[in-house]
Structure 1
Amino acid sequence: MFQLLIVDDEASVVDSLADTLPWSDIGITGVFKAYSGAEALGMMRMNSIDIVISDIQMPGMSGIELLERIRKSWRKTKCIVLSGFAEFSYAQQAIRHNSYDYLLKPIGDSEILDKVQAVVRLLQEERQEDRSYQQAMKAFRENLPKIRGELLNGLLQGKRYSEQRLAEELEMVSVNVRKDDCFALMLMRLEQGFADMGFLSLSLMEYAIGNIAEELFEDRFRLWMCKDVHGYLLFLVTLNGERFPEEKDVPPLRSPAKEDAELFQLAASQLQNSVKQYLKGSVSVIVSGWGLFPQDANGLYQSLLASLRTMLGDQDDLFISVPDEQEPLVVPSLQALYEPPMLVHLLESGDWQAIGVKLEHIFGELHAKGAESSEHLVEVFFFIYSAFSSFAHKNGRRVEEMLGPGLSDLRELSACRSADALRSWASQALDHMQRDMERETRSTRETVVRKIQDFVRKHLGDDVSLLAIADYMYMHPVHVSRIYKLVAGENLSDYVLRLKMEKAVELLTGSTLKNYEIALRLGYQNPNYFIKVFKKYYSVTPQEYRLKLPD
C-alpha cells in the first residue's frame, strides 16, 4: 500500500494524472497533488509519501531543487522526473539526486503506469529487507524482558486472553509456558540494603537477583520474572523438561511430584540466602501453592498478597510458604472490579462494547460469588459511579448532564436495593452516557462538514484542494477526508467535483460564457482538461450539452 505525490506547475497536468489514471490497480492507495515545489514539501511533511512524480522546470523551486530536498529528508522516497526538456544535463542532475527514472513529455498513460508499477515492486522488495524493520526487531529483543514482564503482570492482575491470543503472545515473547501447565509463584520483597538505592542501582540489583535465581532453578525449573504493580519481584515457576500428558481423557496435573515441590521450596530458600550473602541485602520470600496456567494465576497471586499482609507485615528477612489449600474468604472479594482493563480507561477510549462486557463480568462475578450483600452492592455502585464521574469531568461536563438527574441522584442510593436494581441502573446510565457522547460527536463532526462545504462553495473558483481545506480547518488532510466521508457519505473530492459540474451546467444554461471562461471560473486553468472532466461526468462535452438545451 503506497502513496504517490504528483508535482507540476501546470494544474491540468497534475489533475489529469491524479484523477484519470487507475492508480489503485498498481497498488497506489493515495494520490496527492502539488502545484509547486514548496507545496510539495508541505505535502511531504504531512503525509507518508512513497513515490514522487515531479516536473523539472517550475517557477520558484525547480524540480532538481525539490529532488535534492527530498533526498536529504526522505531518503526512501522514490522520484520520477517528468519534463519536456530532453537535454542530457537535466537527466544527469536527476540521476545525481537519486531519481529513479527520467521521462519526457508527452508520455502515454500506460507508460507512466508501467514506470510507477516498477517503483512499487522495488519498494516492496526494499520493505522486505528494510533496515528499520531489523532495528525494530533489535529493539524488541533488547526490551524483551520488560515486554515479558508486562504480559505476566497482566495475567497476575486478571487480564483475560482468548486461548489463541495468549498462545500467540507467549510465542512472540519466547516464553515456554502453555495452557494447563502446572506452576507456582514466588514473591520477593527487597528490604534492608535495597530501600535507599536509586533507580539505576536498584535495577542492577534486580537484574542480579534474576540471574542468581536462574542459576539456582535451572536444573529442574523454568522461571518467568516480572516486577509487579507493588514493586515486588515476582517469579512464575514451571517444571523443566517433559510436558504433562495431553490426551483428552487425562486431566492436567495441578501439582508436581512431591520431590519437585520440595526442590522448589529449597531453591527459593537458597535464593533468599544467596541474595543476603552476595548482594548484602535482606529479602523476604513468599511461595505459593501450585495451580494450572493461566486460570489460577490471579488466584495464586492474590493469595501471596494476602499472606504478605497477614503473615509478613513489617518484619524483614522471612520465608513463608502458602499452603495449596486455603480456607475460603468469609467475605468474598470482587476481582472483576479491579482487573484490567479498568472501567474508567474503557470509558476514556470510548469502547462502548468493551464497557458492556466489563459490566457483565462485574455482575456475573457478583452473582457467582453470592456477594450480593449491601456492602458489595454499594462497592460496585460507587466503583461504577466514580468511573462515570471521572469521565464526565474529563469531558468538562457535570455528571447530571451526562446521566440525567434521575440516574445521578445519590440521596437515597435506590440503585443499591438489589443486584438486579444495580444492574438496571448501570445499564441505563451507560446507555444515557453513550447516547449523549454520540450526539456530541455527531454534532461536532456535522459542524466540521458544514464549515468545509461553506468554504468550498465560497472558493469554488479558487484553490479548493484537500490541503487548502485542511489549512483552513487547522486539521490534518487525512482527518479532513475521513471526517467528511463519515458524515456526508461521499468523498470530499466527489463533493467538490459535483459542485463544479453543477455550477458548469448553471453557467452553460444561463449565460453565454465560452468554455474557457467557464473553466477559469471553476478553477480549471486548462480548458481542455475542463472539457475532459465534464464529459466524464455527464457523458457529453460542454458544447454538446449546450446544443441539447431547448431554444
Structure 2
Amino acid sequence: MFQLLIVDDEASVVDSLADTLPWREIGISAVFKAYSGSEALEVLKTNTIDIMMTDIRMPGMNGLELLALVRREWKWVKCILLSGHAEFSYAQEAIRHDAHEYLLKPVGDDEVLAKAGQLVAELRRERDENRAYERVVKAFQEHLPKLRGDLLADLLQGTKLSPDKLGHKLESLKIEMATDERFALLLCRLEDRLTELDFYSLSLMEYAVVNMAEELFEDEFRLWSCKDIHGYLVFLVTLRERRDSSPEQSELPAPPTQSAERPTEPAESRLQSIASQLQLGVTRYLKGSVSVLISRWGSFPFDIQRLYEEILLSMRRQVGHQSGLLIYVSDELERMPVHALQRLNEPPMLVHLLESGDFERTRDKLTGAWEELSSKWADSREHVTEAFFSIYSSFSSFAHKNGRHLTDMIGPLLSDVTGLTPIRSLESFQQWTFQSLELLQQCMESETRNDRENAVRKIKHFVEKHLVDDVSLQTIADSMYMHPVHVSRIFKLETGENLSDFVLRLKMEKAAVLLADPALKNYEVALRLGYQNPNYFIKVFKKYYSVTPQEFRQKLETVGEL
C-alpha cells in the first residue's frame, strides 16, 4: 500500500479529494493533507510519501516551486499537478520538472482515481524490479568468493583471457589486480587428521584456514584464494601499500617486468614469516597440520601458470608424503630438460569442446596443439605418442557419450591403432587428427538432421491426424514434449515453410476436396475442417484461393460440364 499527499490552498478541494474518494481500492492506504507548499514540505520530511497531488497556483510557494524542491530532495515521489488554468507555459514547466500527470480543474473523481491508480501500478512495478535487482545483487554477493575462486582456478590451469575481458572480470568481481602487478603464489596442503574428515567438515576447515590466512596477511598483503583441482588451497599474494614510511616497511618489489625477479628481502622474508604463523595457527586452533609452499615472484597475469606448475613440481619433489613443511620454491622448472605438452592440456579440454558441439574451437585447439608439437617436440617420440593417445581418448569418449563406437563414426581404418600407424610421421598424425575430426563433425551433423527430419515427420503426422481438432502450436508442442518455439523453428528450418502455413494448406486442400461433393453444404464443410463459424471459414478460404467456396463450386461444375 502507498501513501498520498494532497496540496491545495483551497481547503474544500483538499478535504473533498482526501475524504470522499475510495483510495484503498486503488492501493493507497493513507492520505495526507497540506494547505500550502510549506505545509507540504513538513509532511514530506516526516512521512514516506509516494504520490503528491498539488495545485499550481498557491500563495507563497506555488506548485511548480514545490515540485522543483520535491524533485531535488525526494526523487522517488510521483507528482500530479492540478490547475484551473490551461496555459501551455504551465504544462511546459510541469514537463521540465518531471511531473507525471497534468490535470485541469474541474476534474472528475473517476479521472483523479484513474491517474492515481496508474501511478500506483507504476510504483508497484518499480518496487518489484528493485526487489528483483536486490535479490540478484544479494545472490551475487553471496557467491562472490566462489566466483573469485573460480576465476583464479581457471587462470592457474592456463585459461587465456584477453586483457579487456580479464580486466572486466576483475572489476566486476571487485579484485584489486593490475596488469604487470607483482605477485607470489602460496599453496597450502591440509594434512594428517584433516585429510580424514568428511566433505562437510573438510569444507569448514578449509574455510577456517582461508579466514586465518586473511587475518594474518591483511596488514601487509592482499590475498586472492581458491581451491585447485588437486584439492590444495592456493593464494595469490600481492603487496599492500605501506601504512608508514619506515625504511624497512616501505621497500616495495622491483618495477614490474615480464621476468620473475624476487622483490626486496623484507617483503619476501615477511611472507615466509607469516606463512610460518599460518602453520602454527592451524596446528594450535584446528589441531592439524599444513605444508606451505611459496613461489617465486612474477608478473600478473603472465606468470601465473608457470609459477603454479613450479609450485606443484616442488610439492611432488620436495614434500611428497611428508607433512608440516614450509618451502620457498626455486626455479627448478626452468632447469628441467623436458617439459609437458601445454596447449593440449590447458582448458578448455578437448573432450569438453567436443561435448559442447563447438567444432570450430575444437579445430582451433588442435591446430594450436599441433603447432606446439611440431615446433618443440617433433623429435620426441614420447610427446607425439602422448598427444596421439590424448586426442584418441577424447574422440573415443565423445563417441561413447553419443552412444556410438568410434569405429562407427570415423571408420575402421582411422580407428585402428594397431602398430600406431597414424603417428609413423608428423604428417600422417596431422592428417589423421583433422580427418577424424571432420568425420566426427559430419556424423553429428547427419544425426542432427536425422533427428530434425524425424521430428518434422511426427509433427506432420500429428497435424494430419488431428486436422479437424486442435492443431495449435502449443498442442503440437505438447504432443512432441518440446517448447513451442523449438517446434516452430525446426519445422521452418527443415521444410522452409511456417508450421501455421502448413496447417492452413492442409485444411484448404481438404476443403477443396470436400467442396467437390455437391451433397455437402458449405457450413458442413466448415464444421468438418474444425471451423465452428462458417463465415470465418468463407473468409479464410477466399483469402487462400481468391474465390469464395460457392464460386469454387461453380468453377468445378463448369469444368465438369466441359
For 2:389 and 2:194, locate their aligned partners in 1 and report how far apart those are by CA, in whole Å. Answer: 38
For 1:261-410, list aligned pairs within 5 A. Answer: 261-324=268-331, 326-370=333-377, 372-410=379-417
Q: Indicate whether 1:515 and 2:532 are aligned.
A: no
Q: Indicate whether 1:433 and 2:445 are aligned.
A: no
Provide closer, same or farther for how the CA distance between residues 359 and 128 of structure 1 changes in structure 2, counting only shifts above 3 A: farther
Contact 1:332/1:371 (<8 A) preserved: no
Point out the more displaced range, 534-543 or 208-217.
534-543
Provide closer, same or farther for how the CA distance between residues 472 and 277 of structure 1 changes in structure 2, counting only shifts above 3 A: closer
For 2:180 and 2:334, locate their aligned partners in 1 and report how far apart those are by CA, in whole Å. Answer: 24
For 1:220 and 1:312, locate their aligned partners in 2 and report how far apart those are by CA, in whole Å. Answer: 27
Counterpart secondary structure, 1:184:
strand
**TM value normalised by structure 2:** 0.69
For 1:311 and 1:424, locate their aligned partners in 2 and report how far apart those are by CA, in whole Å. Answer: 42
Provide closer, same or farther for how the CA distance between residues 296 and 548 of structure 1 changes in structure 2, counting only shifts above 3 A: farther
Contact 1:372/1:419 (<8 A) preserved: no
Partner of 1:533: 540
**Greater radius of gyration (CA):** 2
Partner of 1:103: none
Contact 2:186/2:292 (<8 A) preserved: yes
Deviations along 1:455-501, whole A, 9 cap, x unmatched?
21233222222233234334444432332222222322221122223
CA shift, 1:125, in A, is 4.1
Partner of 1:44: none
Contact 1:283/1:318 (<8 A) preserved: yes
Contact 1:366/1:372 (<8 A) preserved: no
For 1:313 and 1:521, locate their aligned partners in 2 and report how far apart those are by CA, in whole Å. Answer: 82
Partner of 1:236: 236
Contact 2:180/2:257 (<8 A) preserved: no
| Cα RMSD, aligned residues only | 2.9
Contact 2:182/2:256 (<8 A) preserved: no
**TM value normalised by structure 1:** 0.71
Deviations along 1:268-323, whole A, 9 cap, x unmatched?
23322332233332211101112222232111111111101111111111111112
Provide closer, same or farther for how the CA distance between residues 421 and 315 of structure 1 changes in structure 2, counting only shifts above 3 A: same
For 1:131-170, list aligned pairs within 5 A. Answer: 131-170=131-170
Amino acid in the other structure paired with 1:276:
T
Counterpart secondary structure, 1:235:
strand
For 2:391 and 2:123, locate their aligned partners in 1 and report how far apart those are by CA, in whole Å. Answer: 50
CA shift, 1:136, in A, is 3.5
Counterpart secondary structure, 1:327:
helix
Partner of 1:420: 427
For 2:429 and 2:176, locate their aligned partners in 1 and report how far apart those are by CA, in whole Å. Answer: 43
Counterpart secondary structure, 1:380:
helix
For 1:396 and 1:511, locate their aligned partners in 2 and report how far apart those are by CA, in whole Å. Answer: 56
Counterpart secondary structure, 2:177:
coil
Q: Percent identity?
A: 57
For 1:212-223, list aligned pairs within 5 A. Answer: 212-223=212-223
Amino acid in the other structure paired with 2:154:
G
Deviations along 1:77-110, whole A, 9 cap, x unmatched?
xxxxxxxxxxxxxxxxxxxxxxxxxxxxxxxxxx
Provide closer, same or farther for how the CA distance between residues 328 and 421 of structure 1 changes in structure 2, counting only shifts above 3 A: farther
Contact 1:182/1:253 (<8 A) preserved: no
Provide closer, same or farther for how the CA distance between residues 367 and 272 of structure 1 changes in structure 2, counting only shifts above 3 A: farther
Contact 2:258/2:302 (<8 A) preserved: no
Contact 1:519/1:530 (<8 A) preserved: yes
CA shift, 1:232, in A, is 0.9
For 1:155 and 1:205, locate their aligned partners in 2 and report how far apart those are by CA, in whole Å. Answer: 24
For 1:146 and 1:378, locate their aligned partners in 2 and report how far apart those are by CA, in whole Å. Answer: 38
For 1:542 and 1:191, locate their aligned partners in 2 and report how far apart those are by CA, in whole Å. Answer: 87
Provide closer, same or farther for how the CA distance between residues 511 and 195 of structure 1 changes in structure 2, counting only shifts above 3 A: same
Amino acid in the other structure paired with 1:403:
I
For 1:187-206, list aligned pairs within 5 A. Answer: 187-206=187-206
Provide closer, same or farther for how the CA distance between residues 537 and 324 of structure 1 changes in structure 2, counting only shifts above 3 A: farther
Contact 2:260/2:296 (<8 A) preserved: no
For 1:180 and 1:532, locate their aligned partners in 2 and report how far apart those are by CA, in whole Å. Answer: 73
For 2:394 and 2:123, locate their aligned partners in 1 and report how far apart those are by CA, in whole Å. Answer: 47
Amino acid in the other structure paired with 2:373:
L
For 1:155 and 1:144, locate their aligned partners in 2 and report how far apart those are by CA, in whole Å. Answer: 17
Partner of 1:129: 129
Partner of 1:177: 177
For 2:134 and 2:157, locate their aligned partners in 1 and report how far apart those are by CA, in whole Å. Answer: 33
For 1:528 and 1:201, locate their aligned partners in 2 and report how far apart those are by CA, in whole Å. Answer: 74
Contact 1:225/1:236 (<8 A) preserved: yes
For 1:210 and 1:347, locate their aligned partners in 2 and report how far apart those are by CA, in whole Å. Answer: 36
Amino acid in the other structure paired with 2:418:
R
Unaligned runs of 5+ in 2: 1-117, 243-254
Provide closer, same or farther for how the CA distance between residues 510 and 182 of structure 1 changes in structure 2, counting only shifts above 3 A: farther
Provide closer, same or farther for how the CA distance between residues 168 and 546 of structure 1 changes in structure 2, counting only shifts above 3 A: farther
For 1:2-81, list aligned pairs within 5 A. Answer: none
Provide closer, same or farther for how the CA distance between residues 280 and 458 of structure 1 changes in structure 2, counting only shifts above 3 A: closer
Provide closer, same or farther for how the CA distance between residues 133 and 494 of structure 1 changes in structure 2, counting only shifts above 3 A: farther
For 1:124 and 1:384, locate their aligned partners in 2 and report how far apart those are by CA, in whole Å. Answer: 57
Partner of 2:71: none
For 1:501 and 1:179, locate their aligned partners in 2 and report how far apart those are by CA, in whole Å. Answer: 68
